[in-house]
Structure 1
Amino acid sequence: MKRRIELLLAAAVLLASCEDDAVPRPKGWPRLDLPASSHERWQQDGAPFSTELPAYARIAERKAEGAARWYDLRFAGQRATVHLTYSAVQANLPELIEDAHEFKRKHEAKAARIRSERMLRDSARVFGTLFDVEGDVASPCVFYLTDSTGHFLYGALYFDAPPNADSLAPVTARLRADIRHMAATLEWSAR
């Protein structure tokens, strides 16, 4: 008798809990609070270039090998870093440019698309190329800038997270805009 009551209760619960109308869950995405877009002039004694950087970014020089100079442009709130390498041009400009293109080519296997954008500012003698690498790649933005005679600056954007283009898209778009602004305001220092 006790078993029969338990079975009837279980059947009643199952029948009462069944509904014909399925209720879809609302879609949700993580909230990204990007800081306001403002820039500050960065100029360091002895640095080979100056530029405007986002106010929410911090730049620090790292110990480099050889004659190169390394800088990390850190976006702490976005968990991203632009690794910058400055090299003085000494009849090696073709090799430096080829290295930048080689790095871009290494991303071709994973990239959905790679767009290149020329950057030309004759008045400041700043020339270069920015590569927008779309897809689940390690570095979604790679660029180089040069004056073609004495200065060469190479940069690559990295996130402190596994590459997931869909999740990182809003932050990547913002940082690409910041990199473009940096290139548009870059000035070479006298050597």
Structure 2
Amino acid sequence: MRLLNVWICISFAAFILACNQPHFSPKPRGYFRIEFPEKQYQTFSSTAPFQFEYPVYANMYPDSSKNAQPNWYNLTFPTFNARLHISYYPIVSQQEFIQLTEDSRKLAFKHTVKATGIDEALITNKQDQVYGIYYTISGNTASANQFFLTDSSRHYLRAALYFNEKPQQDSIQPVIDFIKKDMDKMIKTFKWR
């Protein structure tokens, strides 16, 4: 009986002491606030057979990878850890044009495994002879936006946006939307030379 009384007293004391301790609960995971720079543009004009406007907060430099060809470039967005890969091909035959267009479609639809949707939008600028397709890829895919531009006879350009981190669309969607406006500006100001 005495042992029971001691056990009840210890249990009661532990209960009282436990109630006086501050309660800890973990905070939900949060994401960094993203500061977007003001939209300002500059013209990319080099020896390449094309020109366009791109944002001043991005860096344009020639692609230095081992498979790079002439007039391949990378447009980097250092603040967002993103890169737009730009590949240019001169068209030498109608068969090559068809193959380049099919390759672009395959590269966009290669993301089907992780994509929740792929939308295609036609690009048409008759005045500057710029035509193409813009692919918007939804879901946790490696590339959310891709497009190709061509004059259908001599020039072909393909671009794909990648982030240098594991894709989590819910956390990078504001950045994707922000860069998409820059890509739209690039397409609207695009001209063959």
TM-score normalised per structure 2: 0.86
Q: Write the mapping of 1:131-146 to structure 2, written as runs, cut at 5 A.
A: 131-146=135-150
Indicate whether 1:57 and 2:55 are aligned: no
Corresponding residue number in structure 1 for 2:174: 170
Corresponding residue number in structure 1 for 2:34: 32
User: For 1:41 and 1:72, how far apart are their aligned partners in 2?
Assistant: 15
Deviation track 1:31-52 (CA, whole Å, cap 9, x = no partner) reads 00111111111111x1111100
What's the secondary structure of 1:97's corresponding residue?
Answer: helix
The residue type equivalent to 1:137 in the other structure is T
User: For 1:25 and 1:18, how far apart are their aligned partners in 2?
Assistant: 15
User: For 2:48 and 2:138, how far apart are their aligned partners in 1?
Assistant: 32
What's the secondary structure of 2:143's corresponding residue?
Answer: coil
Change (3 A) 1:26 1:109: closer
Corresponding residue number in structure 1 for 2:120: 116
Deviation track 1:91-119 (CA, whole Å, cap 9, x = no partner) reads 11100000000101211111011111111
Change (3 A) 1:18 1:61: closer
Q: Which has the larger radius of gyration?
A: 2
What's the secondary structure of 1:130's corresponding residue?
Answer: strand
131-140 vs 102-111, which moves further = 102-111
RMSD: 2.7
> Across the two proteins, how many residue pairs are aligned to each other?
185
User: For 2:27 and 2:161, how far apart are their aligned partners in 1?
Assistant: 35
Corresponding residue number in structure 2 for 1:47: 48
What displacement does 1:15 show?
A: 3.7
User: For 1:85 and 1:15, how far apart are their aligned partners in 2?
Assistant: 65
> What 5-or-longer segments of structure 2 have no aligned partner?
1-5
User: For 2:74 and 2:165, how far apart are their aligned partners in 1?
Assistant: 17
Corresponding residue number in structure 1 for 2:92: 90
Corresponding residue number in structure 1 for 2:3: none
What displacement does 1:69 show?
A: 2.9
What's the secondary structure of 2:119's corresponding residue?
Answer: strand
Deviation track 1:36-86 (CA, whole Å, cap 9, x = no partner) reads 111111111x11111000110111112474865310000000100000100
User: For 1:76 and 1:29, how far apart are their aligned partners in 2?
Assistant: 18
Corresponding residue number in structure 1 for 2:157: 153
What is the percentage of aligned positions where both structures have the same residue?
Answer: 29
> What 5-or-longer segments of structure 1 have no aligned partner?
none
The residue type equivalent to 1:30 in the other structure is F
